Structure 1
Amino acid sequence: MGLNAALAVHPASGRGAAARVAEAVAARLRPAVDRLDLLTATSVEESRALMRSSHAEGLDVLIVLGGDGAAHQGVQFCADHGVALGLVPSGTGNDFARALGIPADPRAATDALARALQAGHRRRVDLGRAGDTWFSTVLCAGFDAAVNARANAMRWPAGPRRYDLAILAELAAFRPSPIVVHTDHGVLSGETSLIAVGNTPYYGGGIPICPDATPDDGLFDVTVIGAPGRARLLRMLPHLRTGEHVHKPSVETFRTRTLRVEAPGWPVYADGEDQGQTPVEAVCVPSALTVVAPAP
């Protein structure tokens, strides 16, 4: 039985980068599979409909060409339907691809994926589950979620710089709040600026907010930043890019399989996608997703 794959293209990803490289990516992948369907969609609804149609015809591997938003939609479909996921990053963040060790350049990523397809390399990775939504990278609430919302609304600049500017803008408006966090090991509470629940280390285009998170240990790595004040929080920001923030006195880290976050109407984002407001519950589901990639 042959290997049936579909290439889901989100033309707007990376300010049109996905559309520009789609044909070249497809040409590189076709020799590695027996069948490759091209699924081009401009909306989530259209994308899901095309994925369902392809699945009905015997889909084995869904390959997503796009950024983290596109990858998030691919994760939803693949986890729910038992289909393997391949990624060719072409967005502005690409945090899930980064966590899996996939090259940032779309052509290099395509060549690596083609080799993995031909060799039959597969990995099982964990996913987070919040309500009806799967997430592969980080669920966040509080300051960082507010930054995510602001960054999504900005049209300039592209890439990580947009996230950095959103951080600075949000500093002027955000206030720490009391939260209660229920974990496997008890309850934490206090004045807090943000909580990040990591299945993988990165969000915001490469910020290792949960630097030790790995997607195959059955646990979340959780980072909680207290209420250090604007000036100290601002001084902490450069350390976020290196992962050194976890050593600051106002930062607490721990691991848990389940948690519930109770806070006064904080925004919640997962994989950079809006998930409403707190309270929010999440659980780490071991080996929930198959990805086409060599072992780390």
Structure 2
Amino acid sequence: MNIDLGGRTAIISGSTGGIGLAIARGLARANADVVIAGRSQKSLDAALAELREQGGSGQIHGVVADLGTAAGAETLFAAHPRADILVNNLGIYDDVDFFDVADSEWTRFYDTNVLSGVRLARHYAPGMVEKGWGRILFISSESGIAIPADMINYGVTKAANLAVSHGLAKRLAGTGVTVNAVLPGPTLTDGVAALVADAAQASGRSIREEADNFVRTARPSSIIQRAADVDEVAHLAVYLASPYSSATTGAALRVDGGVVDSLAI
């Protein structure tokens, strides 16, 4: 399958590292014009340098903006008012007990993980409808359907991503714009690497070995019995951003390694 997104503009939030950057890489290789955003010029410049080495024919752009805020979203809109593909990847997580999470943290998680995608979709979807073609993706999580006891606020926001994406798909019925959610499972991102770094040092295992051990012990239902790589998640996102996915909308597609033990979602 040869995916060619030449002439399409893709905007990816939360895209200077991890899954977001991997999706940006995949879209750049597919010749899309790619726009990434980051909160610091340093991280943005590093990501832009990497993307420009991917070999695609599209242009690569970057915006310094905190897309977890309304002001940051407006900065992005001013620089890049239209898009054909929108990937709402921005998200934060933490393993904090329910009884230790203050109202302010609930609000911060909701603003970043939910409202950021709502704002971007609300702005970019009308332009897609005008053109009769568009792709909107929400990067949710298996934690959105199997809420973890130690990350309840995170799980709640990821469940909200599923609700928004499914409802927006129905709102855009018949327009040529599809809306879907991607549900990664445990994935070896920079954030996960940092979380297991101390355990890896104590055990003498590598970061990869420690991440895989975490999956086997904390997510024993995993069928692949390891953490996914970011590119494995990105491959699904790139397909959903392509013309080949035209009959897939309103869906929640898992790339969780089989962590969720279910015949359906």
- Please report the TM-score for the alignment, with normalisation by the length of structure 1: 0.33
| TM-score, normalised via structure 2 length | 0.36
**Which is richer in helix?**
2
Instruction: From the two aligned structures, give the one with the greater strand fraction.
Output: 1
